[in-house]
Protein backbone atom coordinates (compact mmCIF):
# COMPACT_ATOMS: atom_id res chain seq x y z
CA UNK A 1 0.00 0.00 0.00
CA UNK A 2 1.23 3.46 -0.73
CA UNK A 3 2.70 5.45 2.20
CA UNK A 4 -0.07 8.08 2.31
CA UNK A 5 -2.76 5.41 2.47
CA UNK A 6 -0.99 3.57 5.28
CA UNK A 7 -0.77 6.89 7.14
CA UNK A 8 -4.48 7.68 6.67
CA UNK A 9 -5.51 4.16 7.71
CA UNK A 10 -3.32 4.36 10.79
CA UNK A 11 -4.75 7.71 11.89
CA UNK A 12 -8.42 7.40 10.93
CA UNK A 13 -9.05 3.67 11.32
CA UNK A 14 -6.54 2.62 13.97
CA UNK A 15 -6.80 5.99 15.77
CA UNK A 16 -3.05 6.22 16.10
CA UNK A 17 -3.06 9.97 16.81
CA UNK A 18 0.59 9.99 17.84
CA UNK A 19 1.38 9.24 14.21
CA UNK A 20 -0.67 12.32 13.19
CA UNK A 21 1.12 14.62 15.66
CA UNK A 22 4.47 13.21 14.60
CA UNK A 23 3.62 14.19 11.05
CA UNK A 24 2.51 17.69 12.07
CA UNK A 25 5.75 18.16 13.96
CA UNK A 26 7.81 17.35 10.92
CA UNK A 27 6.20 20.27 9.07
CA UNK A 28 6.35 24.07 9.55
CA UNK A 29 3.05 23.68 11.46
CA UNK A 30 5.16 22.69 14.45
CA UNK A 31 5.70 26.36 15.32
CA UNK A 32 2.00 27.07 15.40
CA UNK A 33 1.33 23.95 17.43
CA UNK A 34 4.08 24.83 19.92
CA UNK A 35 2.78 28.41 20.27
CA UNK A 36 -0.75 27.16 20.86
CA UNK A 37 0.32 24.64 23.51
CA UNK A 38 2.49 27.20 25.28
CA UNK A 39 -0.46 29.56 25.46
CA UNK A 40 -2.73 26.91 26.96
CA UNK A 41 -0.10 25.66 29.41
CA UNK A 42 1.52 29.02 30.19
CA UNK A 43 1.14 28.39 33.94
CA UNK A 44 3.29 25.28 33.74
CA UNK A 45 5.98 27.14 31.87
CA UNK A 46 5.85 30.01 34.37
CA UNK A 47 5.97 27.66 37.33
CA UNK A 48 8.97 25.71 36.01
CA UNK A 49 10.77 28.97 35.20
CA UNK A 50 10.19 30.18 38.77
CA UNK A 51 11.33 26.83 40.19
CA UNK A 52 14.48 27.11 38.09
CA UNK A 53 15.23 30.50 39.70
CA UNK A 54 14.65 28.96 43.14
CA UNK A 55 16.53 25.69 42.84
CA UNK A 56 19.24 25.86 40.17
CA UNK A 57 22.78 26.87 41.01
CA UNK A 58 24.77 28.56 38.31
CA UNK A 59 28.46 29.29 37.97
CA UNK A 60 30.74 30.72 35.30
CA UNK A 61 31.35 27.30 33.63
CA UNK A 62 27.62 26.75 33.27
CA UNK A 63 26.94 30.26 31.98
CA UNK A 64 29.67 30.11 29.36
CA UNK A 65 28.63 26.58 28.26
CA UNK A 66 25.08 27.89 27.82
CA UNK A 67 26.30 30.83 25.71
CA UNK A 68 28.14 28.41 23.42
CA UNK A 69 25.07 26.19 23.17
CA UNK A 70 22.92 29.17 22.22
CA UNK A 71 25.37 30.36 19.58
CA UNK A 72 26.65 27.12 18.06
CA UNK A 73 24.03 24.57 19.11
CA UNK A 74 26.51 22.31 20.93
CA UNK A 75 29.06 22.31 23.73
CA UNK A 76 31.58 19.94 25.28
CA UNK A 77 30.77 19.25 28.94
CA UNK A 78 33.64 16.99 30.06
CA UNK A 79 34.41 19.52 32.80
CA UNK A 80 30.98 19.02 34.40
CA UNK A 81 31.73 15.41 35.40
CA UNK A 82 34.16 14.04 37.95
CA UNK A 83 36.14 10.85 37.49
CA UNK A 84 34.05 9.35 40.30
CA UNK A 85 30.78 10.03 38.44
CA UNK A 86 32.10 8.29 35.36
CA UNK A 87 33.83 5.37 37.07
CA UNK A 88 30.58 4.35 38.70
CA UNK A 89 28.62 4.38 35.47
CA UNK A 90 31.49 2.82 33.52
CA UNK A 91 31.35 -0.30 35.70
CA UNK A 92 27.64 -0.56 35.01
CA UNK A 93 28.15 -0.06 31.27
CA UNK A 94 30.72 -2.88 31.21
CA UNK A 95 28.27 -5.21 32.96
CA UNK A 96 25.63 -4.30 30.36
CA UNK A 97 28.11 -4.98 27.59
CA UNK A 98 28.73 -8.46 28.93
CA UNK A 99 24.98 -9.13 28.54
CA UNK A 100 24.94 -7.99 24.90
CA UNK A 101 23.99 -11.34 23.36
CA UNK A 102 21.14 -11.94 25.77
CA UNK A 103 19.84 -8.37 25.41
CA UNK A 104 20.01 -8.66 21.63
CA UNK A 105 17.94 -11.84 21.66
CA UNK A 106 15.14 -10.24 23.69
CA UNK A 107 15.11 -6.96 21.81
CA UNK A 108 12.14 -5.82 19.73
CA UNK A 109 13.64 -5.21 16.27
CA UNK A 110 13.52 -1.63 14.94
CA UNK A 111 14.77 0.05 11.78
CA UNK A 112 17.93 0.90 13.73
CA UNK A 113 19.47 -2.53 13.36
CA UNK A 114 22.94 -0.94 13.41
CA UNK A 115 22.81 -0.69 17.20
CA UNK A 116 21.80 -2.73 20.23
CA UNK A 117 19.90 -0.93 22.96
CA UNK A 118 21.89 -2.06 25.98
CA UNK A 119 19.62 -0.24 28.42
CA UNK A 120 16.51 -1.89 27.02
CA UNK A 121 15.76 -4.48 29.64
CA UNK A 122 15.54 -1.59 32.13
CA UNK A 123 12.83 0.06 30.11
CA UNK A 124 9.94 -0.49 32.47
CA UNK A 125 11.92 -0.22 35.63
CA UNK A 126 13.94 2.96 35.22
CA UNK A 127 14.41 4.48 38.63
CA UNK A 128 16.51 7.31 39.96
CA UNK A 129 18.93 4.67 41.27
CA UNK A 130 19.83 3.59 37.74
CA UNK A 131 23.33 4.92 36.93
CA UNK A 132 22.18 6.28 33.52
CA UNK A 133 19.45 8.27 35.23
CA UNK A 134 21.71 9.37 38.08
CA UNK A 135 24.28 10.83 35.71
CA UNK A 136 21.56 12.48 33.59
CA UNK A 137 20.17 14.10 36.73
CA UNK A 138 23.44 15.63 37.91
CA UNK A 139 22.60 19.05 39.33
CA UNK A 140 25.11 20.97 37.21
CA UNK A 141 23.80 19.32 34.02
CA UNK A 142 20.19 20.12 34.96
CA UNK A 143 21.23 23.70 35.72
CA UNK A 144 22.90 24.09 32.32
CA UNK A 145 20.03 22.52 30.40
CA UNK A 146 17.58 24.57 32.47
CA UNK A 147 19.46 27.78 31.77
CA UNK A 148 19.20 27.01 28.05
CA UNK A 149 15.43 26.36 28.29
CA UNK A 150 14.67 29.09 30.87
CA UNK A 151 12.96 26.48 33.05
CA UNK A 152 13.68 23.18 34.80
CA UNK A 153 13.99 20.53 32.06
CA UNK A 154 12.17 17.22 31.95
CA UNK A 155 14.41 14.17 31.48
CA UNK A 156 12.40 12.02 29.07
CA UNK A 157 14.78 9.11 28.75
CA UNK A 158 18.34 7.84 28.91
CA UNK A 159 19.38 5.22 26.35
CA UNK A 160 22.62 3.25 26.12
CA UNK A 161 23.44 1.98 22.64
CA UNK A 162 26.13 -0.30 21.29
CA UNK A 163 26.69 0.58 17.64
CA UNK A 164 28.03 -2.08 15.31
CA UNK A 165 29.56 -1.94 11.83
CA UNK A 166 27.21 -1.31 8.92
CA UNK A 167 27.52 -0.64 5.22
CA UNK A 168 25.77 1.82 2.90
CA UNK A 169 22.99 2.41 2.10
CA UNK A 170 22.71 4.09 5.49
CA UNK A 171 19.34 4.49 7.14
CA UNK A 172 17.31 6.56 9.63
CA UNK A 173 19.63 8.35 12.10
CA UNK A 174 22.69 7.42 10.01
CA UNK A 175 21.33 9.97 7.53
CA UNK A 176 21.11 13.74 8.05
CA UNK A 177 18.12 14.89 10.10
CA UNK A 178 16.77 17.17 12.80
CA UNK A 179 15.14 15.57 15.84
CA UNK A 180 11.44 16.11 16.39
CA UNK A 181 11.03 14.93 19.98
CA UNK A 182 9.93 18.45 20.92
CA UNK A 183 10.29 22.03 19.71
CA UNK A 184 12.66 22.78 22.63
CA UNK A 185 15.03 19.93 23.40
CA UNK A 186 18.64 19.03 24.10
CA UNK A 187 20.45 15.73 23.98
CA UNK A 188 23.37 14.84 26.19
CA UNK A 189 25.78 12.28 24.75
CA UNK A 190 28.55 10.44 26.61
CA UNK A 191 30.87 7.98 24.87
CA UNK A 192 31.85 4.84 26.76
CA UNK A 193 34.35 3.70 24.15
CA UNK A 194 37.08 5.72 22.44
CA UNK A 195 35.71 7.43 19.36
CA UNK A 196 38.86 8.66 17.69
CA UNK A 197 38.45 8.03 13.98
CA UNK A 198 35.70 8.05 11.35
CA UNK A 199 35.43 4.24 11.53
CA UNK A 200 34.37 4.55 15.20
CA UNK A 201 31.15 6.28 14.04
CA UNK A 202 31.46 9.72 15.67
CA UNK A 203 28.43 11.91 16.22
CA UNK A 204 28.57 14.19 13.17
CA UNK A 205 26.73 17.46 12.63
CA UNK A 206 26.60 21.02 11.34
CA UNK A 207 26.49 24.04 13.67
CA UNK A 208 23.16 25.74 14.26
CA UNK A 209 24.05 28.50 11.75
CA UNK A 210 25.19 26.11 9.01
CA UNK A 211 22.16 23.90 9.59
CA UNK A 212 19.91 26.82 8.58
CA UNK A 213 21.29 26.51 5.03
CA UNK A 214 19.85 23.00 4.67
CA UNK A 215 16.43 22.97 3.07
CA UNK A 216 14.15 20.00 3.55
CA UNK A 217 10.71 19.04 2.25
CA UNK A 218 7.36 20.20 3.75
CA UNK A 219 7.37 17.14 6.00
CA UNK A 220 11.01 16.76 6.97
CA UNK A 221 12.87 13.68 5.77
CA UNK A 222 16.24 12.09 6.48
CA UNK A 223 18.63 13.36 3.82
CA UNK A 224 21.44 11.68 1.88
CA UNK A 225 24.98 13.11 2.08
CA UNK A 226 25.14 14.33 -1.52
CA UNK A 227 21.95 16.37 -1.11
CA UNK A 228 23.16 17.98 2.12
CA UNK A 229 26.60 18.76 0.71
CA UNK A 230 24.98 20.53 -2.24
CA UNK A 231 23.51 23.03 0.26
CA UNK A 232 26.28 23.38 2.83
CA UNK A 233 30.02 22.96 2.45
CA UNK A 234 31.03 19.52 3.72
CA UNK A 235 34.20 21.14 5.11
CA UNK A 236 31.96 22.69 7.77
CA UNK A 237 31.10 19.27 9.22
CA UNK A 238 31.80 18.94 12.95
CA UNK A 239 32.61 15.52 14.36
CA UNK A 240 32.87 14.77 18.04
CA UNK A 241 35.89 12.57 18.49
CA UNK A 242 37.45 11.77 21.83
CA UNK A 243 38.41 9.21 24.42
CA UNK A 244 35.79 7.31 26.33
CA UNK A 245 33.86 9.62 28.73
CA UNK A 246 33.81 12.45 26.21
CA UNK A 247 30.55 14.24 26.97
CA UNK A 248 28.65 16.89 25.05
CA UNK A 249 25.28 18.52 24.65
CA UNK A 250 23.71 19.22 21.29
CA UNK A 251 20.44 20.87 20.31
CA UNK A 252 19.59 18.17 17.80
CA UNK A 253 16.37 19.95 16.85
CA UNK A 254 18.47 22.79 15.43
CA UNK A 255 21.70 21.11 14.31
CA UNK A 256 21.46 18.71 11.37
CA UNK A 257 23.22 15.55 12.46
CA UNK A 258 23.85 11.87 11.76
CA UNK A 259 26.15 9.17 13.08
CA UNK A 260 26.74 5.58 14.01
CA UNK A 261 28.40 4.71 10.69
CA UNK A 262 30.97 2.22 11.88
CA UNK A 263 33.57 0.34 9.90
CA UNK A 264 34.25 -3.39 10.32
CA UNK A 265 36.19 -4.15 13.51
CA UNK A 266 34.88 -1.07 15.41
CA UNK A 267 32.21 -0.57 18.05
CA UNK A 268 30.83 2.44 19.89
CA UNK A 269 28.97 2.63 23.19
CA UNK A 270 27.12 5.87 23.79
CA UNK A 271 24.64 7.18 26.33
CA UNK A 272 21.94 9.49 24.97
CA UNK A 273 19.78 11.45 27.41
CA UNK A 274 16.87 13.50 26.14
CA UNK A 275 15.76 16.68 27.92
CA UNK A 276 12.71 18.68 26.87
CA UNK A 277 11.07 21.91 27.97
CA UNK A 278 7.40 21.86 28.98
CA UNK A 279 4.79 21.96 27.72
CA UNK A 280 5.69 19.36 25.14
CA UNK A 281 4.56 20.10 21.64
CA UNK A 282 2.83 16.69 21.65
CA UNK A 283 -0.64 16.54 23.23
CA UNK A 284 0.31 13.32 24.97
CA UNK A 285 3.94 14.28 25.60
CA UNK A 286 5.86 15.79 28.49
CA UNK A 287 5.90 12.54 30.43
CA UNK A 288 8.66 10.33 31.70
CA UNK A 289 8.65 6.76 33.02
CA UNK A 290 11.44 7.42 35.52
CA UNK A 291 10.43 6.55 39.07
CA UNK A 292 11.75 8.30 42.14
CA UNK A 293 13.53 6.22 44.76
CA UNK A 294 15.12 7.76 47.84
CA UNK A 295 16.14 11.32 48.52
CA UNK A 296 16.56 13.85 45.74
CA UNK A 297 16.95 17.59 45.49
CA UNK A 298 13.99 19.70 44.37
CA UNK A 299 15.74 20.39 41.07
CA UNK A 300 16.11 16.65 40.40
CA UNK A 301 12.61 15.81 41.52
CA UNK A 302 11.02 18.38 39.21
CA UNK A 303 13.22 17.09 36.36
CA UNK A 304 11.39 13.76 36.47
CA UNK A 305 7.97 15.27 37.01
CA UNK A 306 6.04 15.76 33.81
CA UNK A 307 2.56 17.10 33.18
Ligand X SMILES: O=C(O)CCC(=O)C(=O)O
Considering the complex, state which of residue 21 and residue 176 has its C-beta at the smaller distance from ligand X: 176
What angle is formed at CA 217 by the lines to CA 212 and CA 220, rounded to 5 degrees? 80
Q: Which of 151, 257, 262, 286 touches ligand X by CB under 6 A?
A: 257
Determine if 193 is a binding residue for ligand X (CB under 6 A).
no
For residue 148, CA distances in Å to 40, 50, 260 come to: 22, 14, 27
CA dihedral over 38, 40, 46, 48, signed as positive or negative: negative
Binding region for ligand X (CB under 6 A) out of 26-34, 49-57, 143-151, 254-262: 254-262
Q: How far apart are CA 174 and CA 158, in angstroms?
A: 19
What angle is formed at CA 158 by the lines to CA 168 and CA 265, rounded to 5 degrees? 35
Considering the complex, state which of residue 55 and residue 275 has its C-beta at the smaller distance from ligand X: 275
> Minimal CA–CA distance to 95: which of 19, 162, 188, 145?
162
Considering the complex, state which of residue 178 and residue 299 has its C-beta at the smaller distance from ligand X: 178
Q: How far apart are CA 20 and CA 7, in angstroms?
A: 8
CB of 110 to ligand X, least distance (A): 13
Q: Collapsing DSSP states into helix, strand and coil, what is residue 106?
A: helix
Considering the complex, state which of residue 84 and residue 111 has its C-beta at the smaller distance from ligand X: 111
Considering the complex, state which of residue 112 and residue 292 has its C-beta at the smaller distance from ligand X: 112
Determine if 260 is a binding residue for ligand X (CB under 6 A).
yes
Q: Which of 30, 143, 252, 305 touches ligand X by CB under 6 A?
A: 252
Considering the complex, state which of residue 168 and residue 294 has its C-beta at the smaller distance from ligand X: 168
Q: Which of 73, 131, 259, 286 touches ligand X by CB under 6 A?
A: 259
> Minimal CA–CA distance to 163: which of 247, 95, 262?
262
Determine if 203 is a binding residue for ligand X (CB under 6 A).
yes
According to DSSP, the β-strands at 74-76 and 247-250 are antiparallel
State which of positions 148-177 bind ligand X (CB under 6 A). Answer: 173
Binding region for ligand X (CB under 6 A) out of 90-98, 125-133, 221-229, 258-266: 258-266
Residue closest to ligand X when measured from CB atoms: 259
Phi, psi for 215 (deg, rounded to 5): -100, 140
The DSSP element (H or E) to which 29 belongs, if any, is: helix 29-40
Determine if 272 is a binding residue for ligand X (CB under 6 A).
yes
Determine if 73 is a binding residue for ligand X (CB under 6 A).
no
Q: Kindly list the residues in this chain that would bind ligand X in the complex (CB under 6 A).
A: 173, 179, 187, 203, 252, 257-260, 272
Amino acid sequence: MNKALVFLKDVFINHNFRRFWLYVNKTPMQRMMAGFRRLIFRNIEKQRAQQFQNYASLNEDIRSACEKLKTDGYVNIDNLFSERDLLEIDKYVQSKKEQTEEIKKNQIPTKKDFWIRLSDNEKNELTTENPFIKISLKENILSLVGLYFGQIPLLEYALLTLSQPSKPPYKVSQLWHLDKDNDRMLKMFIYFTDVLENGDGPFTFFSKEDSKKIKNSFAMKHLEDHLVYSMVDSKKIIQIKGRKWTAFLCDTSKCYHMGSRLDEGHERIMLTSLYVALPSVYPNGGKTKIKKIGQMSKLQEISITGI
